[in-house]
Structure 1
Amino acid sequence: MRDCIIRSVGWTVPDASISNSELVAVFNAYAERFNTENADAIARGEINEIPFSSEQFIEQASGIMNRHVVDKAGLMDIDRMRPRIPHREKEALAFQAEFGLSAARKALEKAGRTADDVDGVIVASSAQQRNFPAVSVEIQNALGMTRGWAFDMTMACASAIFAMQQARELIRTGQADAILIVCPEVMSAINHYRRREVHFIFGDASAAVLLEAGDREPGGWELQGVRLETRWSNALRSDFGFMNHTEFEEGDEFEAFVDQDGHRVFRDVIPLASSVSSQLISDLGYKPQDIRRGWLHQANIRIVQAVVKKALEREPDADAAPIILNEYGNTSSSSVLMTFDLNSDDMDTGERGLLCAFGAGYGCGAAIIEKR
């Protein structure tokens, strides 16, 4: 079978960003107002007081110091605390498709390719803007592709790696020569900015990766192997879906946002991601010292460092475990591609790296790539 090559990565983030201090200020203002307005009920034990957040809490819990968002004003409005993304008519390009298109075009431009060179488009992200038609087909059309196929898929923060496995098999078996994977993550739209446990985690970003058959031209990164595993868990969950309008009556409080048990996620994900990564390294006949670097999903600095330490059997310094979440936060499936793109130019031909992403489900995907 043919080799599969990562040819290029393109990504984009919104210009607007929110620092920890800004986020804490609006959250604490909301918490203070809620606690004051509900003081009697809190005193009777009928509802819980909302604890305050702090910059120290956020940085110690996650390593995040900043995040880029599509609508800062909506998130900073204490009466709203969610983004404003105006409705568009059916004839207009959907917001998520537009966000994904920006990264897709960057990936094609970097590779020197056009839409005519692409056989398929996969939109792989934590959530799609609508059930159908597929956002991927809309991006396919906006790119000007006159042939081929497109489909949407989701495996939360691990979506990019799961899509890479699908694309790799299609390319290796000759069913496609080039596939564009697009990860448009508008996480601010499903995050709950009034829950202390999650209000600081996510940022918005869109990333795309172009995979091609290895005989097209020299260069790129050979995708040598991928390993996927899933485990059922409710520890990280979002209930947004097409059945919401059947579940809630008029006036009910809608709470189908992201929620998590952070301590449980931390405890569960580290051994899962470490095991999947180590097994893949072994399956390919390598040893940990044969892998120079780990580009991990930027969920939490302690998770990233712990997984790299276990899988690569070395201290997770800046070379072995690069970190970008301090600036961008957790951008879900796009983060592993962004981390790779920002921290790979210094590697030499023949050097290898580990891509690893993990998220709700639980779903975990690992890939070994080698620079050609």
Structure 2
Amino acid sequence: MAQNPSSENKRAGSRLTGVGAALPKRAVSNDELAAQIDTSDEWIRTRTGIRQRYLVSGDETAVSLAHKAAQNALDYAGKTADDVDAVIVATSTPDQVFPSVAVRVQAALGMERGFGFDVSAACSGFVYALSVADSMIRAGQVGRVLVIGVEVFSRLLDWEDRSTCVLFGDGAGAVLLESGAGEGEGILSTHLHADGHLGDLLYVDGAVGCASGKVALKMQGREVFRHAVVNLAAAVDEALETNGLKGTDIQWMVPHQANLRIIEGMAKKLHLPAERVVVTVDRHANTSAASIPLALDEAVRDGRIKQGDLVLMEALGGGLTWGSALIRM
């Protein structure tokens, strides 16, 4: 499904004015994991590109990470919580069933108005949340929205299953969207898809009242990889065709950080050199809905991504869900 607004709505589109990120204090190397389970640094790196990940400890939570990332995004944009109309959080790992992470962040920021809610689309969650926020801005319902991706995946892992526990990390990333983008500026389009028939390829059993009584992530890695390659390519083509662009027009790709081989495959399809692809999977591992905004924050703050650059985002996650977004920074 493509969110392809009319030319009239494009004049009132959303622009990205702030970025923020937050990582737990504790970094865990592959060697540290290898001391606990049957794996090795070489086994992990050659299959995924991951060298380390950050895991929560002490009093760190999804809300505390999301709050810090959101505040950093506001500071970057020169705005305060009083300027924000809504908080939309993409997460599969909330601290509580309810209230949502979004309203907890709303309270932590000191917001006295507006609203908040969570979006659950696994690793595609940030693209989904971005699309929702952009649509609400175009509809005139809100003027400024904090969009946050946050995950504490360490809660969901079987730490004896080396095929999954080495892949994930914890973290949060945020952006501030504001109305006022002109023609050809800001979020150009977003494209969302899902196929529930493939839900058993990647899932977490452990919802309230579930049959197993256990919380654990399950993944058929090879099948997920296969669908990722095909579906992400289609979502990227859709974004380019919608906007009358070619792969060579893209200046930066900020992909979901799941596996280095998938990232490299998408870059090759777009004829993008490695230096035009933002990669953080080596240091962050797979932070699910947080991975794109974490990578975006890094590339904006270190000066790689500049105002006016055309940025492609894409992600695939459990559901299966997938999607893409094109943004003129």
* TM-score when normalising by structure 2: 0.90
Residue 56 of structure 2: aligned partner: 70
Name the structure 1 match of 2:177: 211
- Check whether the contact 1:127–1:156 (CA below 8 A) recurs between aligned residues: no
Letter of the 2:91 partner, please give it.
S
Asked if the contact 2:173/2:297 (under 8 Å) is kept, the reply is no
Partner of 1:225: 189
Q: How far has the Cα of 1:239 moved from its partner? A: 1.2
Equivalent of residue 79 in structure 2, options 107, 110, 113: 113
- Paired with 1:321 and 1:97, the residues of 2 have a C-alpha distance of 29
Where in structure 2 are the equivalents of 1:1-372 lying within 5 Å? Answer: 1=9, 2-28=12-38, 53-71=39-57, 95-214=61-180, 222-232=186-196, 233=198, 234-244=200-210, 247-248=211-212, 255-310=214-269, 312=270, 314=271, 316-344=272-300, 345-371=303-329
Partner Cα separation in structure 2 for residue 208 and residue 347 of structure 1:
16
**Is the CA contact (8 Å cut-off) linking 2:24 and 2:65 kept in structure 1?**
no
After superposition, the Cα gap between the structure-2 partners of 1:340 and 1:99, relative to the gap in structure 1 and judged at 3 Å, is: closer
Separation (CA, whole Å) in 2 of partners of 1:293 and 1:188? 30
Deviation at 1:349, TM superposition (A): 4.4
Structure number with higher strand proportion: 2
Instruction: Report which of the two structures shows the higher radius of gyration computed on alpha carbons.
Output: 1
Deviations 1:191-249 (A, max 9, x none): 2211121120011101111111026xx9xx711110111122211111121113xx35x
The 8 Å contact of residues 127 and 154 in structure 1, kept in 2 or not, is answered as no
Aligned residues with identical type, % of pairs:
32
Give the Cα–Cα distance (whole angstroms) in 1 for the partners of residues 204 and 189 of structure 2.
30
- Report the alpha carbon displacement of residue 124 of structure 1 after superposing the two structures with TM: 0.9
Supply the distance in 2 between the matched residues of 1:271 and 1:109 (Cα, whole angstroms): 39
2: CA distance, partners of 1:214 / 1:133: 31
Q: What letter matches 1:370 in structure 2?
A: R
The C-alpha deviation readout for 1:323-371, integer Å capped at 9, x for no partner, is 1111111111111112122224234543311011111111112111113
What amino acid does structure 2 have at the position aligned with 1:98?
S
CA distance in 1, matches of 2:304, 2:42: 33
Matched letter for residue 14 of structure 1:
P
Q: Distance in 1 between matches of 2:153 and 2:15?
A: 29
* TM-fit CA distance, 1:322: 2.3
Contact 2:267 2:273 (C-alpha < 8 Å) held by counterparts: no
1:258 aligned counterpart, secondary structure: strand
* Equivalent position SS for 2:142: coil
2: CA distance, partners of 1:238 / 1:135? 19
Q: Is the 8 A contact 2:174 2:294 kept in 1?
A: no
Partners of 2:243 and 2:265 in 1: CA distance: 22
Q: Using the alignment, how far apart are the partners of 2:305 and 2:50 within structure 1?
A: 26
Structure 2 alignment gaps of length 5 or more: 1-8
Task: Report the CA distance between 1:128 and its aligned residue.
Answer: 1.7
Alpha-carbon distance, 1:320 to partner: 2.7
Indicate conservation of the 8 Å contact 1:274/1:308, yes or no.
Answer: no
1:233-266 Cα deviation digits (max 9, x unpaired)? 211111121113xx35xxxxx5431111111111
| Maintained 8 Å contact 1:129/1:135 | yes
Instruction: Compute the TM-score of the two structures, normalised by the length of structure 1.
Output: 0.80
Indicate the RMSD between aligned Cα atoms, in angstroms.
Answer: 1.8
Structure 1 residue 107 displacement after superposition = 0.7
Distance 1:150 1:347 in 2: 29
Q: Distance in 1 between matches of 2:110 and 2:233?
A: 41
CA distance in 2, matches of 1:15, 1:166: 31
Q: Which residue of 1 aligns with 2:6?
A: none
